[in-house]
Structure 1
Amino acid sequence: MKKTLGLGALISALGTSMPLQAMPYDTPDTWGGDLESRARLTGNWGGARDDMAKKGVVLDMDVYWMPQKITSGGRDSASGDWGNAILTLNVDTQKLGLWPGGFFKLQTVTSFGDTLLKETGAIVPANLSWMLPTITPDTGVQEITYTQFLSQHFGVFLGKINAIAPTNVLHGDYTTGFQNTGINMPLALAMVPLSAYGIGALYLPSHDVTLAGMVLDANGTIKNDNLSNAFDDGIMALASADLKIRPWGLPGHQNLTVAWSNKDRTSLVQDPSNIAGLLLTAHFPRLGNPGPILSEILDAHPVAAKIPPDPLNKESETWAAVYSFEQFVWQPAGDPKRGIGTFFSVGVSDGKANPIRYSYSLGLVGKGVVPGRPNDDFGLGWARTEFSDHFVPYLRDRFNLGLDHEDVVELYYKASITPWLSITPSLQVVSQGLNKVFNASAPGFEDLDTAYIAGVRVGVRF
């Protein structure tokens, strides 16, 4: 019993420290029941699902359909209907009759539909899911990891790591909560891959303190499954310290995460004649791809090229750090899963290879507090992304493009219709970093108005 409790405490603390990889997976007493009460739409599969779960094997599929529309502002009053289908396999080696403390996880993501990535005029994607697995419909392996707990206080994991797996209680789960990328994750970490081969470890010196770290392939992507060239261009290392707190008897936690990479990257500090080369070659994993929007301006107003051209400046390392906290401010007595809480994060990077110098987020979330709706959630969040002074200064100054900072406010309400069906309407107000955009059909520049994006997310757990 003591060993089981220690492992549970370790998992609980890790859940607010690093992205969750293969871990013990909670299952209902039974997957069966009537259509309104069963945990998942397809039920118990004639008893096979319960039998599999008892042996530590759980296979799930979740589908999220997210129609959205720009009701005003942006580049175009367009509509999109992006969706993700996520297939997940969890295996518990002890329940399978093998060895204790071992957990395997495989997760794939398939996307379909159309995004509004370009139409919003924003640099930060208004929907994190638009980047999964790529910004066009596709299928990829988001995670394939193995975790081994060596004691009550220490565990290791390795494989292809999902570096954006939801971890926080109040925000960060793009499948059930906020959709905007800037609210879901601190964009000072824009250079950290979404998914990459790597290895990590976690240590719990006490129930309230969790220390964790991992090393990732700096070039990792969801679509890159080639292990043979992993780490060829360097590493992305992350270290995290998480402290649980209980002011006024209410749960919360504070976290500090530091990221460092030794990959040679294209520097933002360039001669203007090299701007086109920068935009065409640089890749910012958590920003989608802002290059094409700015490249439209370069196509119409090319910069005089040097002959011979100067080589691109490079940065041999990059770093970022993020402090964050979540804190419940009210909970009903005896129910730790419900309540009202707040979250905050602030991040900073070197701003030399990373186009994001500072990132901030702040919000209020209610979980199960609406009378008569114990499974519904709601949230109000704000995020600011401040761009590096080195990010295309020539274009910013010559054409007065702005690119100082980008703000978003998002409001959502998740209505749980059944345990397996949720409907989440949302509204985003995006004040773009760009002041204006180039209209090739005019041709010429036009002002870029604040974008209002209305949408709904329909989630079905099969």
Structure 2
Amino acid sequence: MKKPIRILTAIAFICALAFTARLSHANDTVEAPAVESIVPISPYQGSLKERQRLTGDWAGCRTWLEEHGITLAPRLTQFYQGLSAGDGDHDFEYGGKADLMLNADLSKLGFWKYFSLTVHTEYNYGESVTGAGGTLVPPNTALVFPGMEDADAFDLSSVYFTQHFSKSVSLLFGKINMMDIAASTPFKGGAGIDSFWNLVVI
């Protein structure tokens, strides 16, 4: 019982010495201007206006998943679009896409390094103006797949594994939606959601 008391007494004594030394030199030194420490802000924190993700941290679940290599990116995109000029039906149509992208760093789940899994589910609903005006390129890229003919459409569009060997060499195998790969390219990417709706403008 005496040993812990001695350790605590020694710690208190050291802290007292340090505090006394700081006070004794306070008048002899010129303090540097305070510099605020830069603390990384989570994209899930802050008000609705400040946060990068609308639904926040899901009571800590989102951060826990990321720490274990799993990233979930749900998204809902809505469209109201129609033909403003030219031949054809000039009615405007409302439709949308709900999709979920899952990326898993499998090395954090017990597999080898640089091995990952990507899963993408897509659900289209409502109506689309695809084919309006007789265009060859669909006016709304996001609603082309998995389609919207006479009913809503759902598809597991991507389920593939990736093995990175270097910064420029990687191997992908599984079911791959090439729109997902092209979506990451600057300017012309976005899969009709984060960039231009109609790819013909590129």
Identity of aligned residues (%): 27
For residue 147 of structure 1, give the secondary structure of its aligned residue in structure 2: strand
Answer 1 or 2: higher relative contact order, Cα 8 Å, separation at least 6: 1
- In the TM superposition, 1:379-458 aligns within 5 A as none
Q: Which residue of 1 aligns with 2:137?
A: 124
Structure 2 distance, partners of 1:152, 1:42, is 33
Do the aligned partners of residues 131 and 72 (structure 1) sit closer, same or farther apart at CA in structure 2, a change above 3 Å counting?
Answer: same
Structure 2 distance, partners of 1:176, 1:57, is 22
Higher strand share: 1
Q: Which residue of 1 aligns with 2:188?
A: 171
Structure 2 distance, partners of 1:94, 1:29, is 23
TM (norm. structure 2) is 0.71
Do the aligned partners of residues 49 and 68 (structure 1) sit closer, same or farther apart at CA in structure 2, a change above 3 Å counting?
Answer: same
2:123 to 96, 110, 113: 110
Of the structure 1 ranges 102-111 and 92-101, higher mean CA displacement relative to structure 2 is found in 92-101
Q: Post-superposition shift, 1:150?
A: 2.9
Q: Post-superposition shift, 1:87?
A: 0.8
Asked if the contact 1:62–1:86 (Cα under 8 Å) also holds between the matched residues in 2, the reply is yes
TM (norm. structure 1) is 0.32
Indicate the structure (1 or 2) with the bigger Cα radius of gyration. 2
Q: Which residue of 1 aligns with 2:199?
A: 181
2:108 to 95, 106, 119: 95
Asked if the contact 1:57–1:96 (Cα under 8 Å) also holds between the matched residues in 2, the reply is no
Q: Which residue of 2 aligns with 1:146?
A: 161
Do the aligned partners of residues 168 and 152 (structure 1) sit closer, same or farther apart at CA in structure 2, a change above 3 Å counting?
Answer: closer
Letter in 1 for 2:200: G
For residue 60 of structure 2, give the secondary structure of its aligned residue in structure 1: helix
Structure 2 distance, partners of 1:145, 1:76, is 40
Do the aligned partners of residues 122 and 150 (structure 1) sit closer, same or farther apart at CA in structure 2, a change above 3 Å counting?
Answer: closer
1:62 aligns with 2:75: yes
Q: Post-superposition shift, 1:78?
A: 1.1
Structure 2 distance, partners of 1:30, 1:69, is 35
Structure 2 distance, partners of 1:112, 1:79, is 15
Do the aligned partners of residues 88 and 117 (structure 1) sit closer, same or farther apart at CA in structure 2, a change above 3 Å counting?
Answer: same
Higher helix share: 2
1:160 aligns with 2:190: no
1:46 aligns with 2:59: yes
Q: Post-superposition shift, 1:130?
A: 2.6
1:84 aligns with 2:102: no
For residue 132 of structure 1, give the secondary structure of its aligned residue in structure 2: coil
Asked if the contact 1:30–1:50 (Cα under 8 Å) also holds between the matched residues in 2, the reply is no
RMSD: 1.8
Q: Which runs of 5+ in 1 are unaligned?
A: 1-27, 184-360, 362-462
Asked if the contact 2:127–2:148 (Cα under 8 Å) also holds between the matched residues in 1, the reply is no
Structure 1 distance, partners of 2:135, 2:98, is 25
Instruction: Give the paired residue count.
Output: 157
1:418-438 per-position Cα deviation (integer Å, ceiling 9, x unaligned): xxxxxxxxxxxxxxxxxxxxx
Structure 2 distance, partners of 1:32, 1:179, is 30
Letter in 2 for 1:39: Q
Letter in 1 for 2:198: N
Q: Which runs of 5+ in 2 are unaligned?
A: 1-40
